[in-house]
Structure 1
Amino acid sequence: MASNKKAPLGSIENPIKFMDQDFKTILEECLKSGQLFCDSTFPAEQKSIGMPEDADPKKAIKWQRPKEISENAVFVEGTTGTTDICQGQLGNCWLLAALSCLTMHPTLFVKVVPPSQSLKKPYAGIFHFRFWQYGEWVEVVVDDRLPVREGRLLFSYSHTRHEYWSALVEKAYAKLVGSYGSLKGGNISEGMEDFTGGIAYSLNVSSRTPRVLWRSLTAALSRGSLLSCFIEASSYHDVGKVTGDGLIKGHAYAITDTDKVKKASDEILLLRLRNPWGFVEYRGPWSDKGKEWDDLDKAEKERIDLKKREDGEFWISAEDFSSLFDIVELCSVNPDTLVEGTTPASPSSPAAPSTWTISEHEGLWITGSSAGGSRRYKKSFWKNPQFELVLTEQDQPEEDDEDDDDEDDDDEEEEMTPEEKKRAEKQKQKAKQCTVLVEMLQKNRRQKDKVHFLYIAFHIYKVPSELQGMCLDRTFFMKNRPVGRSGKYQAQRGVWRKLHLDPGNYIIVASTYRPNNTGEFFVRIFSKTGNTLGTQDFTCSSGYLPVMATPSLPEDHVRVEKTFETEAGPDDRLNAKELMNMFNSVLDRDYHLPLETCRQLIFGEDTKGRSSLSRKQTETLLSSLRNLQSIFFQFDEDSSGTMSPFELSTALEAVGMQCDGQVAQLLSARFASGDLHMPFHGFVSCVTRLRTLFALYESESSQEVKDRGINSWLLQFLVL
């Protein structure tokens, strides 16, 4: 019996509607009115192109629908294939190479390109596509007006020039990121992940022998992984240069198939690649023009579907591939397909059980608060967002399980070599551990025609039992080294690592290389059943009064008495201005308080409705200020009269107040007034405000308020 339960929002069955546009509703409205859809959220204007307009009127861009461009226009011509995609006048080979890979996997393809879309009647000029975005599937609606220059599509087109599905996918993705110009430059893995929701990673070609590499890539293709490759350019000027073999440096190629052929007594291992341009092909051995095919049986050529035409697709031997290419990019649909030889060929097969659980979190790096930089910045690294990872269940890694060591998997020899014995021993150790895969992606880094990725990485630390549940401070990170990391800081969208860790408690610290780099990020952790992930935050608390109860100095007592004799009115009390004059005559110049802070200090005391303080209250408050000055001075290491907001949490702890990450971020933003350094009066205002809120919470009788907790209370009132 079918369940009527609706799929969760953000799933492939129930994607989030981008810009709140519902495809079915718009389609029905257009069919009813007889009007073709015109998308006002991504208009047929230059701003959607996202690049400077060409001054030559002959090169003016027109926006036309497929049937206006080509009489024989179709959405899909026959079946979808790699040659449906050719790169136009836009540097987005990374995206189109990923799209070429996607066409090789029909079950994945229909997730991105929903079926039953056509240019035939009933036709309303509207199409929809789905992309994975940081843990959620998003549906993007577009009209079919496409940019045209001199009668031809400006950007992606099909080899036959009659087919339009790839151009419309490109338009939908451009809308998702802001403009066509925002697609310029990128990593193939970015497109692969957004088309599948999978895990993308890089493999150095030189790390394996040609035969082992070929076998690994063949297995990856059979498991439904997307594969692409490129030759590294030594400099920016080398990008796009064509080598003597007809290959393009810094350019993304899709790996669409592998095969092997017999030539005399030799077995030749081959890979099939595709250039997203749709032309400019490899000219070496086993290419379309290679003479090596002449000695091959006709049946063998037909079996591997050899097509000797300029379509961007070609074969290359594993030996030549290994000597010419540098990097292979792979995208596995789930962690199980990262394990060679253990999963069925179909990535979406229900018969492929997965014991992995996924935990997902979004985070922020905020200037002066949670953007602490790398480990070299010892004073602020600990302020980076921390995520708690609890590993309880050991798991049995698969026999060929590859982790971050990235060792060769060569089992051709019958007898175990010393190296294989070493690996077998290591496998026994893994069996006592927990397998975990951590990936971190930075968000929203495509702006107009520029891609600005921060240098990012994450580190994993083992937490001793006595510190579990606590926010780890600077002292912990000074004394402990990470047990795992993503590797060197990299300026790309995502970094990941697969690790085997002992059962226990850990924290994952997400960071940018330099402090104060503002950004958003997404972390997902794949682990075996029974392991959990949470944010490393805690319940805010205050021990303010005991800490602040310090005896007043004799000279302060004299100063208070003298001030009251000369300044106090008939009620024997001081108002805010009189209080300011007295405090500033006692405190060092760098620690003087403005009138507004003095008003806040008065309202933080029990004045029974008055806006002034008694002698005793003034003397107690001055003693408290002396204490705050001492604590502030401790963190004002350069004697500038200001304190880095990174140290705010620690300074508050010295006062006796412990605040979680969100509360500390709000305090920093409010009382540092947007500056990177907080003056003394900002610190005083911060403490005064917190002290009042803690006291109000303690006096609160509402059970609903108590159930929500102190953290929620503080966040609610700090924004007022």
Structure 2
Amino acid sequence: MSDNIPAPGSPGNPMKFKDQDYTSLRAESLKTKKLFLDLTFSAEQSSIGMPADPDPKLAIKWLRPKEISKNAVFVEGTTGTTDICQGQLGNCWLLAALSCLTMHPTLFEKVVPAGQTLDSPYAGIFRFRFWQYGEWVEVVVDDRLPVRGGRLLFSYSRTNNEFWSALVEKAYAKLIGSYASLKGGNISEGMEDFTGGIAYTRPVSSRTPPVLWRTLTAALSRGSLLSCFIQAKNVKEIGTVTAEGLVKGHAYAITATDKVKRNDEEVLLVRLRNPWGFVEFCGPWSDMCKDWEGIDAAEKTRIHLNIEEDGEFWIGVEDFCKMYDTVELCSVNPDSDAGEDSDAASVSDWSLTSHKGSWVPMCSAGGSRKYPKSFWKNPQFHLVLSQQDVEDVEVYEDDVDVGDDDAGAAVVKTGEEKQKEKMRKCTMLVELLQKNRRQIDKVNFLYIAFHIYKVPPQLQDSTNTFDGQFFSTNPLVSRSGPYKNSRAVWRKIHLDPGHYVILPSTQRPNQQGEFFLRIYAKKGNTLGAREITCPTAFSMTVMSKPPLPEDQRRVQKWFDEEAGQDDRLNAVEFMKLVNSVLEKDYHLPLEICRQLIFGENVSLC
């Protein structure tokens, strides 16, 4: 491949979603003078992903921007954090991530390629790019948008004639499967898919207000994307407004930090943006608060104080810590270029290895360490770390061993102990993501985690799968923490030079799923990772003995009673029959039974 051609799947040469080539499709539309119609994501209810409303007055129409607004534009002036408002879809997590993205022009142009317009030559076709499990994907859409009562049904611009955000939302919905698939998500998903970076969550209570403010300030200076939210106690609380004008269960973008002096006192401030639009904070240091009367005009100008109801506002860090529960951060270093805000040296300090794999029931889905007979059957990856780091000056809370669902008490070390260890060890960052768990009308994340074991010298040249005895006799040196039903789990880890094996797993055995594992190591280390695949001669202990005659008679009797005259079983009946002769840890899930009945491609090794 020529050095001038970017690698496939890179931002400069993204994979074509559904094999649609933007350039050729646009050229064809201009040549035929017919606006582009995207038949792969049609203007139908199936793309909405929810049942149609039976009331004719609430029927959805699909209109192009110029049919909605006479003055329609792709971008009004420049993109900014005050442009995006949420429509009739519970996807504020996505819009908050998009709001954060507009703060970084270089990152923004990765997702929204420059040069797109509603002006002539106009073909009704647009393209957007998203990171998906190690590669960038370009999604092509037409510009027909769902409208009800003359207004956009989902996200819209505050200016009403700007359409870039609505079209990004449509492209992402197409990538996931439907608009309804965007309901109820985690901000970190959007942040990762817009940047390729690594996103993680921090409880606000984990740090004192001054320390949290310094953390946010440092993260913003590195080009990180930040957001926060107030946890709703139940579904009914989502969308309710507090006495201070803050919305529970909705994501806010953190756009800046600053400090001002009042009466010789230094006040630490955080600036937030509510993607919902015009519900705004009314507490201390809000736009109309008297606290600003003691601040001179030059200082107000310096921090861009805007006294208007635009969804953006300042809040003191002390009040921030009292009112918000969680902060989400997306570090765009390593893995993605933060543009003018990044430290180029920090990017070059890391190298990346990534792998795609799957958990296959009865084969490579061994479950957690609570299942020692099958835990070792999870996919195994061999890591080699060969060179120690220089001192790693960053302090991460995740350096504390928080334990998991299978082990005893967490090991807590002092900051001094951790810092001394870092100077002697190799730094790496491991992230495990589960793939394609969003469905038509719900999110179905499995509980996932990873564990890392030290490989002794006498086994370092082995190419075989390590068995259960290995994991019972060799030390567990690190792990992601408790199993979580989120798209990703990650951990920054400091290990001695040497050989290691990492096992990604689901909490329960025989849960089917695909995953993406990426491992960063500081350059200078030799990091090699290879998957130890599930052996083809895999034998199950539960099937090692022939069934007893009484078991055969019992199964035959059960089949005769349930199958009926046609001697057929549906998926549920088949699942009950098979699982009646299997140990509980090896029960087949309903989806696998359905695939077996309908002859779909499913591997049981």
TM-score of the superposition, structure 1-length normalised? 0.72
CA contact 1:240–1:251 (8 Å) conserved in 2 = yes
Counterpart in 1 of 2:249? 250
Q: Deviations over 1:142-200 (max 9, x none)?
A: 00000000000000001111110000000000000000000000000000000000000
CA contact 2:106–2:339 (8 Å) conserved in 1 = no
Counterpart in 2 of 1:455? 447
Q: Deviations over 1:526-576 (max 9, x none)?
A: 11231211112498799xxxxxxxxxxxxxxxxxxxxxxxxxxxxxxxxxx
Change (3 A) 1:348 1:218: closer
Secondary structure of 1:379's counterpart equals coil
Change (3 A) 1:111 1:299: same
| 1:536 aligns with one of 532, 535, 547 | 532
- AA aligned to 1:531 is L
Counterpart in 2 of 1:390? 384
Q: Deviations over 1:611-663 (max 9, x none)?
A: xxxxxxxxxxxxxxxxxxxxxxxxxxxxx97679969xxxxxxxxxxxxxxxx
- AA aligned to 2:433 is L
Q: Deviations over 1:79-106 (max 9, x none)?
A: 1001111000000000000000000011
Counterpart in 1 of 2:405? none
More deviation, 53-62/392-401: 392-401
Counterpart in 2 of 1:658? none
Alignment of 1:236-635 (within 5 A): 236-335=235-334, 346-347=340-341, 350=344, 352-402=346-396, 404-405=398-399, 423-468=415-460, 469=462, 470-529=464-523, 530-537=526-533, 589=549
Secondary structure of 2:424's counterpart equals coil
CA distance in 2: counterparts of 1:47 and 1:425, whole angstroms? 56
1:5 shift after superposition? 3.3
Secondary structure of 2:476's counterpart equals coil
- AA aligned to 2:529 is L
CA contact 1:387–1:509 (8 Å) conserved in 2 = yes
Counterpart in 1 of 2:169? 170
Alignment of 1:71-150 (within 5 A): 71-150=70-149
Unmatched 5+ stretches in structure 2: 402-412, 539-545, 553-579, 598-603
Counterpart in 2 of 1:196? 195
CA distance in 1: counterparts of 2:279 and 2:215, whole angstroms? 27
Secondary structure of 2:141's counterpart equals strand
1:401 shift after superposition? 4.2
CA contact 2:425–2:495 (8 Å) conserved in 1 = yes
CA distance in 1: counterparts of 2:344 and 2:224, whole angstroms? 17
Secondary structure of 1:436's counterpart equals strand
CA contact 2:227–2:254 (8 Å) conserved in 1 = yes
CA contact 1:590–1:641 (8 Å) conserved in 2 = no
CA contact 1:368–1:645 (8 Å) conserved in 2 = no
CA contact 1:222–1:345 (8 Å) conserved in 2 = no
CA distance in 1: counterparts of 2:245 and 2:582, whole angstroms? 60
Q: Deviations over 1:100-137 (max 9, x none)?
A: 00000111100000000000000000000000000000
CA contact 1:85–1:156 (8 Å) conserved in 2 = yes
1:426 shift after superposition? 3.4
Unmatched 5+ stretches in structure 1: 338-342, 408-420, 543-583, 593-639, 648-668, 676-717
Secondary structure of 1:74's counterpart equals coil
Q: Deviations over 1:261-281 (max 9, x none)?
A: 121211111111111111111
Which has more helix, going by share of residues?
1
Q: Deviations over 1:1-37 (max 9, x none)?
A: xx75321110001000000000000010001110000
- The percent identity for this pair of structures is 64
CA contact 1:98–1:226 (8 Å) conserved in 2 = yes
Change (3 A) 1:344 1:176: closer
CA distance in 2: counterparts of 1:359 and 1:247, whole angstroms? 41
More deviation, 324-333/350-359: 350-359
Counterpart in 1 of 2:600? none
1:54 shift after superposition? 1.1
Secondary structure of 1:451's counterpart equals coil
1:346 shift after superposition? 3.3
Counterpart in 2 of 1:600? none
Give the number of aligned pairs: 553
CA contact 2:432–2:515 (8 Å) conserved in 1 = yes
- Structure number with bigger Rg: 1
More deviation, 514-523/15-24: 514-523
1:245 shift after superposition? 1.1
CA contact 1:489–1:513 (8 Å) conserved in 2 = yes
1:467 shift after superposition? 3.0
CA distance in 2: counterparts of 1:169 and 1:351, whole angstroms? 32
Counterpart in 2 of 1:183? 182
1:425 shift after superposition? 4.7
Change (3 A) 1:479 1:241: farther
CA distance in 1: counterparts of 2:143 and 2:346, whole angstroms? 38
CA distance in 2: counterparts of 1:642 and 1:513, whole angstroms? 19
Q: Deviations over 1:449-480 (max 9, x none)?
A: 21111111111111222333231112223334
Change (3 A) 1:491 1:169: same
Bigger relative contact order (CA 8 A; separation at least 6): 2
CA contact 1:222–1:346 (8 Å) conserved in 2 = no
Secondary structure of 1:193's counterpart equals helix
1:231 shift after superposition? 1.2
TM-score of the superposition, structure 2-length normalised? 0.85
Secondary structure of 1:83's counterpart equals coil
More deviation, 100-109/255-264: 255-264
CA contact 1:368–1:644 (8 Å) conserved in 2 = no
1:221 shift after superposition? 0.6
Secondary structure of 1:234's counterpart equals coil
- AA aligned to 2:53 is D
- AA aligned to 2:207 is R
Secondary structure of 1:77's counterpart equals coil
More deviation, 496-505/390-399: 390-399
- AA aligned to 2:349 is T
Secondary structure of 2:372's counterpart equals coil
